[in-house]
Amino acid sequence: MILVAGSANLDFVVRAHHIPGPGETVLGRAFETFPGGKGANQAIACARSGGVATGMLAALGDDAFAVPLEKSLRDAQVQLHLVRSADQPTGTAFICVSDDAENAITVAPGANLSLRAEHLPSLDGVSHLLMQLEIPLEAVTAYARAARQQGVKVVLNAAPVQALPVELLELIDILVVNEGELAVLTGHRGGVAECLERVQVPTVVVTLGARGCCARSHGTFVVQPAFPVTPVDTTAAGDTFCGSLVAALSQGANLSRALAQASAAGALACTSMGAQSSIPQAAEVTRFLAQMPAPSPSAITALRIYCGLPA
């Protein structure tokens, strides 16, 4: 089983021609609400990957916003470990999606900040603990420490990015970040490979948007070029990548295969609106991979050069 400990938010999404700048008002178009939150998105991505049981520890308010979040998770067959906050509302996120499928997101954490060390459920039968940073850092560190003590692999998606204490880094087996988050964590302006070398975690994966992704695992680098799609909404693409990656690894896939599956799932998530509503089922990912040609040598070379690796 995979246990996800993290956030659950109700997303308020508006489409607009472009994302407004400081002080700018933009006239939007369609407005919808979607179940979201990095933790909940990643839990559903794990569950939809097929073949792996998924649980989630989450905190919700005692309000109407919690209802669609619970339903979405239960419909995906995620086993819930809920903390109900009496004094904090369910977390929310306000998202503007532009016509070129980019987004800007502001999160009001609400009940997500209620999670404490004592809320962690039993880790019996859990192979991987997957977390993010939309819940208190103290809770993340406590959960990671408990997992390490029980031989459970600890996976952290360091988003939203913040400085991570050495104590936490020493407990992480796999760190997943995007390019900007990697730069913040390392404080280094060099290439991707140089930054990856500076992170004291056994395996570090960096997503590179439309370029693909790169990983360093125990000194060995692996690159995976992105799969071409026409994006509609990139919300939850990174979360889909994380959940699918951990699901693949939990089923025994090697890192190269896991990166390919995660990249395919993340690409498909960009082709639909919303967060959890866009996360593909395992069969969709399998069909997509069967239809896609293997990355060309030139694409692999170009990505290695971009990352600062030998061609």
Cis peptide before 160 (omega within 30 of 0): yes
E strands present in the chain: 2-5, 9-16, 28-36, 54-61, 79-85, 91-98, 103-108, 128-131, 153-157, 174-178, 203-207, 212-217, 220-225
Amino acid identity of residue 85, one-letter, is S
Q: How would you classify the pairing of strands 203-207 and 174-178?
A: parallel
Q: What's the CA gap between 53 and 250, in Å, rounded? A: 10
Residue 17: Cβ within 10 Å count: 12
Task: Tell me which DSSP letter residue 252 carries.
Answer: T
173 is catalytic: no
Q: What's the CA gap between 42 and 269, in Å, rounded? A: 12
C-alpha R_g of the chain: 18
Q: What's the CA gap between 281 and 163, in Å, rounded? A: 34
Task: Determine contact, residues 286/248, Cβ cutoff 8 Å.
Answer: no
Q: Which residues of 107-127 are buried (b: 16+ CB within 10 A; e: fewer)?
A: bebbbbbbbeeebbeebeebb
Residue 235: Cβ within 10 Å count: 29
* Torsion 289-292-296-298 (CA) sign: negative
Catalytic machinery residues: 239
